[in-house]
Amino acid sequence: MGVSRPIFDSPAGDSEFEPVASVDELSEGTVLQRVRGSGDAICLVRHKNEISALSDICTHQHFSMSLGDLLEDGTLQCAWHGTRYDCRTGEVKQVPATSPLPVFQLRLEGDTILVGPRCERIDGKYRPSTVRVP
């Protein structure tokens, strides 16, 4: 009666996780944009069978990171001015951006990818939160 329940039962404190994609939608070496229920855009990255979720908004001049390129060394390169971020930690590996790209917590339930709250920032990067897929 008017009470909404989460789609997935999660341990206490994890109610902010939401399903955003299935593993099948994210092939190796690709980047996928998704918009969360909050309206925030994220980009999912799959590099060497590890998936991570980062903000889709470049910290330099707000270009969409999902339009960029995932490079062999595991950096995500912005298509506008070429900033490169570590795709696990969001750390800036090549300027002009100076602030790291926010990273979000991840969980896999079956083949469904769920994204949670923003990870803790530690100096110039975020605590990594990746899931490994076969």
Point out which residues bind ligand FES (CB under 6 A).
58, 60-61, 63, 78, 80-83, 96-97
The CA distance from 64 to 5, in Å, is 32
Task: Give the residue among 73, 40, 77, 39 at the shortest CA–CA distance from 56.
Answer: 40
The CA distance from 59 to 65, in Å, is 10
With vertex at residue 47, the alpha carbon angle to CA 43 and CA 52, rounded to the nearest 5 degrees, is 40
Task: Specify the residue, 47 or 84, whose C-beta has the smaller distance to ligand FES.
Answer: 84
Q: What is the full DSSP assignment across 57-80?
A: B-TTT--BGGGSEE-TTSEEE-TT
Distance in Å, CB of 26 to ligand FES, minimum:
22
Task: Specify the residue, 52 or 59, whose C-beta has the smaller distance to ligand FES.
Answer: 59
Distance in Å, CB of 36 to ligand FES, minimum:
21
The CA distance from 110 to 90, in Å, is 26
Task: Specify the residue, 15 or 61, whose C-beta has the smaller distance to ligand FES.
Answer: 61
Distance in Å, CB of 68 to ligand FES, minimum:
8
Distance in Å, CB of 33 to ligand FES, minimum:
15
Task: Specify the residue, 22 or 98, whose C-beta has the smaller distance to ligand FES.
Answer: 98
